[in-house]
Amino acid sequence: MKHFLKWKLLGFMVFLLAAAISFSIHVDAAVPKKVQVVTKDTIVSSDYSFIAQFNKKKTEVTTFGLKAKSLRSSTDSGYYYYSFTPLYNDSLKGKFGVKYTNIGTYLGKEVDLKITVLDWDYYLNNDTGKISFNQSDIACMTQGYNYVDLKWEFYEHGTNKLMQVQGFMTFNDIDSMQYMEISKETNDVIDSILVDSSSLDWLTFTSKNGNLRISEDKGLLSENDDLFAMFTMLINKTDTLHFKFEGNWRRLVPVRIECMIPPRVLESFSDFWPKSRPERKCYRHQKRLKLMVRKTRA
């Protein structure tokens, strides 16, 4: 069975309301303190001014280190991806990836993003596995890999000069026993992780040896704009981020017909993230059979 692991970085224009962050929240004691539930009282500092996002008019995507094929996805709205097939060739680790130019502005300077594939664990017994990067979004999809380890580096546009930025990033579509593991070094520069209250029923936050793992552990599927399956990181000044994306395919139940429907989203949260759709759908894993499910309300 083939499994797909995908993530997408969302950049939203946020109203930055004040020069300090204040929260009025109640979070389970088991959740790391930096995980904060957004409420009507949440204020985000204007210091977090950098927003990494794909600019359709300016961003260009190029590959480096390994020949990639330009392929159209059959499972992700027909987007085109640059696909790498390193398979079991460990000598390629840390030597290839993609560059996204003009993905934001910080202190008046344009910023480029370089993503390097550091490590991976390939589980298929054929050569169909791929590590793919979207050509029209800052997004990645993998096929045939238990995990893919990535390094993100920010540069002054058109140069080889690393550039520190301070801002926020939103990752979405954490589902189907997917994990995002944040390295200790990156975790140390993340000031807060902002979530909707419904995320505490969907996402699991685990700290170990300074690393932070954010996962969906029930094998359920979300849609791209489901607030419960996304989170926003407020990142202090840094030029490098280190993430590992993985899927627990050994535990994943191939067919699951029940969905967890989280409580409705607070209206005040719509100013921070787009409103989620009022109806939820779930899918049989890999079969994409649409099943309407019952609604629950807070």
Owning domain of residue 102: 4-292
Reply yes or no on whether the pLDDT at 11 is more than 60: no
pLDDT band at 4 (very low <50, low <70, confident <90, very high): low
Residue 298 is assigned to a structural domain of this protein: no
User: What is the C-alpha to C-alpha distance for residues 288 and 219, in angstroms, rounded to an integer?
Assistant: 14
Q: Tell me, what's the pLDDT at 221?
A: 83
Residue 163 is assigned to a structural domain of this protein: yes
Better-scored residue on pLDDT, 46 or 269:
46
Mean pLDDT of all residues belonging to the chain: 77
User: What is the C-alpha to C-alpha distance for residues 197 and 36, in angstroms, rounded to an integer?
Assistant: 9
pLDDT band at 179 (very low <50, low <70, confident <90, very high): confident
Better-scored residue on pLDDT, 189 or 249:
189
Q: Tell me, what's the pLDDT at 76?
A: 58
Sign of CA dihedral 183, 187, 192, 198: positive
Residue 75 is assigned to a structural domain of this protein: yes
pLDDT in tens, 89-124: 999 999 999 999 999 999 999 999 999 999 999 888
Residue 106 is assigned to a structural domain of this protein: yes
* Highest mean pLDDT, choosing among 111-120, 167-176, 274-283: 111-120
Residue 297 is assigned to a structural domain of this protein: no
Q: Tell me, what's the pLDDT at 249?
A: 57
pLDDT in tens, 61-95: 999 999 999 999 776 567 899 999 998 899 999 99
Contact (Cβ atoms closer than 8 angstroms) between residue 146 and residue 250? no
Return the structure tokens found at 220. Answer: 């359920």
Contact (Cβ atoms closer than 8 angstroms) between residue 141 and residue 81? yes
Q: Tell me, what's the pLDDT at 156?
A: 98
b/e map 197-231, b = 16+ CB within 10 Å: bbbbebbebebeeebbebbbebbbbbeeebbbbbb
Residue 72 is assigned to a structural domain of this protein: yes
Number of domains in the chain: 1
Better-scored residue on pLDDT, 39 or 25:
39
